């Protein structure tokens, strides 16, 4: 027995895995379990020591931190899809911003594109509606113009409120103009010019008798006004599309609260 024990000790002594630097490889599970249990003991002692000083809200937040980290490391399918669509929207909007500045590929046409955008601005439309309302002498014309003025004012307030809530910047660092500040159209989502153009085109198509070529030109005008805002780098594609949707919804709202001829005459007399 002593001889066999001496031989086993010599064999263990000559084994490379029994050296100190290889002990972690020889018994990884036991070492990990001991280190984990030791760290848990330390964290438990620290938590017990700091329990009187910490309130329940802080303990609840510390317990939620690992779950929040897991949510960030493993995003949901909806989050991945939304971020992908957002990246595509930004990329396409930057490529279509050919008139964002003078150094762009279509920088020479920037003045013409800005002029096209002014045709969909709220201030010229409100001023023109007021002038036509003063010169109008028919009850039907005054009724249509008063409801058009209501639609324009409502469009400015709704778009300004939505932009203040979203606070989305445009694809390019393009500062708003003076007319944009007057109508509080300083952010990107939704596009105020697009919503106004869609609302006006739908309003005129419903309440004016127009020939087919004029109706087609009216729809093309609304599309060009919205697309011009992408070309100068003020809005994303989704901003313009959402502006078209909000413009149509605003038209439907005006149709629901349409002011009668008597109401319009009463408001005109007060004014």
**Catalytic (active-site) positions:** 193, 235
The pair of structure tokens assigned to 192 is 């105020």
What 8-state DSSP symbol labels residue 53? T
CA distances from 254 to 70, 153, 269 (A): 48, 11, 22
The pair of structure tokens assigned to 121 is 């601005």
Please give the radius of gyration of the chain, using alpha carbons only, rounded to the nearest integer.
Answer: 34
Residue 225 φ then ψ, to 5°: -65, -45
d(CA 267, CA 271): 6
5-9 contacts, C-beta under 8 A, 24 or more apart: none
With CA atoms as reference, report the closest residue to 225 among 194, 180, 261.
194
The pair of structure tokens assigned to 56 is 């329940």
Count the Cβ atoms, other than its own, within 10 Å of residue 192.
Answer: 31
d(CA 208, CA 8): 106
Buried residues in 27-53 as b, exposed as e (16+ CB within 10 A): eeeeeeeeeeeeeeeeeeeeeeeeeee
Burial class (CB in 10 A: 0-12, 13-18, 19+), 184: middle
Length in residues, the chain? 271
């Amino acid at each position: 027995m002593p001889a066999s024990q001496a031989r086993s000790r010599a064999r263990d002594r000559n084994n490379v895995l029994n050296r100190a630097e290889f002990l972690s490889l020889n018994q990884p599970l036991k070492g990990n379990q001991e280190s984990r249990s030791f760290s848990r003991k330390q964290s438990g002692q620290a938590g017990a020591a700091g329990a009187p000083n910490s309130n329940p809200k802080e303990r609840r937040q510390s317990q939620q931190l690992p779950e929040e980290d897991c949510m960030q490391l493993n995003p949901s399918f909806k989050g991945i899809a939304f971020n992908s669509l957002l990246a595509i929207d930004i990329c396409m909007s930057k490529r279509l911003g050919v008139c964002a500045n003078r150094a762009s590929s279509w920088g020479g046409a920037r003045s013409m594109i800005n002029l096209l955008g002014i045709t969909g601005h709220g201030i010229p439309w409100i001023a023109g509606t007021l002038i036509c309302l003063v010169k109008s002498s028919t009850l039907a014309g005054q009724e249509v113009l008063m409801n058009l003025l209501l639609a324009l004012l409502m469009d400015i307030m709704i778009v300004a409120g939505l932009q203040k809530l979203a606070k989305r910047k445009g694809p390019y660092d393009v500062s708003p103009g003076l007319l944009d500040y007057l109508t509080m159209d300083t952010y990107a989502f939704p596009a105020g010019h697009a919503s106004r153009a869609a609302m006006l085109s739908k309003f005129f198509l419903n309440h004016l008798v127009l020939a087919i070529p004029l109706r087609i030109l009216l729809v093309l005008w609304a599309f060009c006004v919205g697309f011009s805002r992408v070309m100068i780098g003020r809005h994303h594609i989704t901003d313009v599309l959402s502006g078209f949707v909000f413009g149509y919804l605003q038209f439907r709202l005006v149709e629901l609260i349409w002011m009668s001829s008597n109401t319009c005459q009463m408001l005109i007399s007060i004014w």
